[in-house]
């Protein structure tokens, strides 16, 4: 069978890229990735009020595709428009609630905590993503030479400020204080890994706080991220990133959530963490750490298999 070609549409943020590329790889399709840009004031208009027309977004330089995978609000209209105007059968898959009629898509992939329902909706526990156990194993030793071989490791994954969580210095220092206490009590070395949303001032603060005894990754480094997950005995992720918490759940390792005070109602994030708590995947960060087991999540492969059954 000829390999299908995919067109990936996102707004360019890590969580969206991870979900779209992860699904494309699991579907075993070739793909090109395009960052979507809406034109003029359409950037400010919700998808349900935006015309399904090519004048609403910048031209996308791709005409040969069989599957569109879109993620994020800005990619909704381009996905619908490109499918509508194609001269052949095209499947379009949207990740997250598109906030328009679900009938515009062949498949909608939405996290269970969003409580979206529909005949073409496939629910996931947390976010789907690009990580695989093979990639984690391949990159395990990437950071090893920079670490103390006599210690076990705790990996702290930092997100970044958004409209729900305040990453001010006071809030971060409270998280760092708890982490430092755990490191000292358990004779662990920390691996601190930033994400694409982590401000430079947060990286600098963590570097100054933890000092030379621990490893702070100062640049966005996908290999360092995978190595940190693979080497860690314990994983801590800040509460603002459902995607990175979901990615960490592939490891089967204890995952602790570092809470940051919410500045507005964060009910979707809390529902997600409650679900992962019930699945015994995460616990809230306190002054002690322990080992526990849970069923490793590989939602990306499960969902890809379900889609394959319906399109092949």
Tell me how far the alpha carbon of residue 128 is from its chain's centroid. 7
**CA-CA distance, 126 to 65, in Å (whole number)?**
28
Q: Which token pair is 132? A: 């695989």
Residue 71 contacts residue 6 (beta carbons within 8 Å): no
Q: What is the pLDDT of residue 212?
A: 86
Those residues whose C-beta lies under 8 Å from the C-beta of residue 23, and which sit 6 or more positions away, are 69, 93, 95, 109, 128, 300, 303, 304
Q: What is the pLDDT of residue 200?
A: 95
Q: What is the pLDDT of residue 188?
A: 98
Domains parsed from the chain with CATH numbers:
5-125+300-311 (3.40.50), 133-284 (3.40.50.2000)
In angstroms, what CA-CA distances link 50 with 8, 14, 55, 86, 96?
20, 25, 10, 20, 18
**CA-CA distance, 179 to 165, in Å (whole number)?**
19
Consecutive sets of 10 residues in the chain, 312 residues long: mean pLDDT of each? 88 90 96 93 93 93 92 96 94 97 97 92 95 95 96 97 93 96 97 95 96 94 97 97 94 97 93 96 92 94 96 89
Residue in the block written with tokens 């920390």: 190
Those residues whose C-beta lies under 8 Å from the C-beta of residue 308, and which sit 6 or more positions away, are 27
**CA-CA distance, 144 to 11, in Å (whole number)?**
33
Q: What is the pLDDT of residue 138?
A: 97
Q: What is the pLDDT of residue 211?
A: 82
Query: β-pairing, 121-124 with 152-158?
Result: unpaired
Q: What is the pLDDT of residue 1?
A: 52
Q: What is the pLDDT of residue 273?
A: 95
Query: 104: closest CA among 114, 91, 116?
Result: 91
Query: 296: closest CA among 255, 253, 237?
Result: 253
Q: What is the pLDDT of residue 61?
A: 83
**CA-CA distance, 47 to 60, in Å (whole number)?**
18
Residue 160 contacts residue 202 (beta carbons within 8 Å): yes
**CA-CA distance, 217 to 236, in Å (whole number)?**
15
């Amino acid at each position: 069978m000829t390999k299908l070609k995919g067109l990936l549409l996102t707004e360019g943020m890590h969580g969206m890229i991870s979900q779209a590329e992860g699904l494309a790889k699991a579907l075993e399709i070739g793909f090109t990735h395009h960052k979507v840009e809406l034109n003029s004031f359409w950037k400010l208009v919700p998808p349900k009020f935006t015309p399904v027309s090519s004048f609403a977004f910048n031209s996308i330089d791709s005409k040969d595709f069989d599957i569109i995978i879109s993620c994020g609000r800005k990619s909704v209209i381009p996905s619908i428009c490109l499918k509508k105007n194609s001269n052949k059968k095209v499947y379009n898959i949207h990740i997250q609630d598109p906030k328009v009629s679900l009938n515009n898509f062949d498949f909608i992939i939405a996290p269970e905590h969003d409580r979206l329902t529909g005949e073409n909706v496939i629910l996931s526990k947390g976010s789907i993503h690009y990580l695989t156990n093979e990639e984690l194993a391949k990159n395990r030793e990437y950071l090893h030479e920079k670490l103390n071989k006599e210690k076990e490791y705790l990996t702290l994954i930092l997100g970044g400020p958004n409209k729900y969580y305040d990453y001010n210095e006071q809030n971060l220092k409270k998280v760092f204080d708890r982490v430092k206490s755990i490191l000292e009590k358990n004779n662990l070395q920390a691996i601190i890994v930033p994400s694409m949303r982590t401000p430079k001032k947060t990286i600098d603060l963590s570097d100054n706080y933890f000092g030379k005894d621990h490893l702070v990754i100062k640049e966005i480094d996908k290999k360092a991220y995978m190595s940190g997950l693979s080497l860690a005995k314990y994983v801590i992720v800040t509460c603002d990133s459902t995607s990175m918490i979901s990615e960490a759940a592939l490891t089967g390792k204890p995952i602790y959530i570092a809470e940051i005070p919410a500045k507005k109602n964060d009910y979707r994030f809390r529902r997600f963490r409650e679900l992962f708590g019930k699945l015994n995947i995460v616990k809230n960060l306190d002054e002690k750490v322990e080992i526990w087991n849970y069923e490793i999540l590989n939602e990306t492969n499960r969902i890809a298999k379900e889609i394959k059954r319906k399109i092949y």
